[in-house]
Amino acid sequence: MITITPEAAKQIKQSAADSNTQGMALRVAARRLGDGSIDYGMGFDDTGREDDLSFKSEGINIVIAPYCIELLNGAVLDYVEIEPGEHRFIFTNPNDPHHGKATD
């Protein structure tokens, strides 16, 4: 499904600690835009839904809604330095014609 790199996992764990959301799953979402690219979203979620796909990568509990599974299958979530001192999460996704789009 989705692979989280060690660098991304470290940052997710730090973000959870900073926002007092430890123990919550990371919800990852995706939707196809008009130009065919994929728009990504993620955040901590403690509610979950019965039909969610749940799994772990690099010690991170991840939940995905069923309608996002096809778009996210095979994606890699990484945390990289875009420019000196500027780090971002990026998705590398074989389903996205714009591979490596950074999230905001």
The predicted model gives 97-103 an average pLDDT of: 59
Check if the beta carbon of residue 5 is closer than 8 Å to that of residue 77: yes
Domain boundaries defined on the chain: 3-92
In three state form, how does the secondary structure of 33-92 look?
A: CCCCCEEEEEEEECCCCCCCEEEEECCEEEEECHHHHHHHCCCEEEEEEEECCEEEEEEE
Report the pLDDT value the prediction gives residue 46, as an integer from 0 to 100: 84
Is pLDDT of 75 > 80? Answer: yes
pLDDT tens digits, one per residue of 16-69: 999 999 889 999 999 999 988 899 999 999 877 889 999 999 999 999 999 999
Report the pLDDT value the prediction gives residue 52, as an integer from 0 to 100: 92
pTM of structure: 0.86
Q: Tell me if the domain spanning 3-92 has CATH number 2.60.300.12.
A: yes
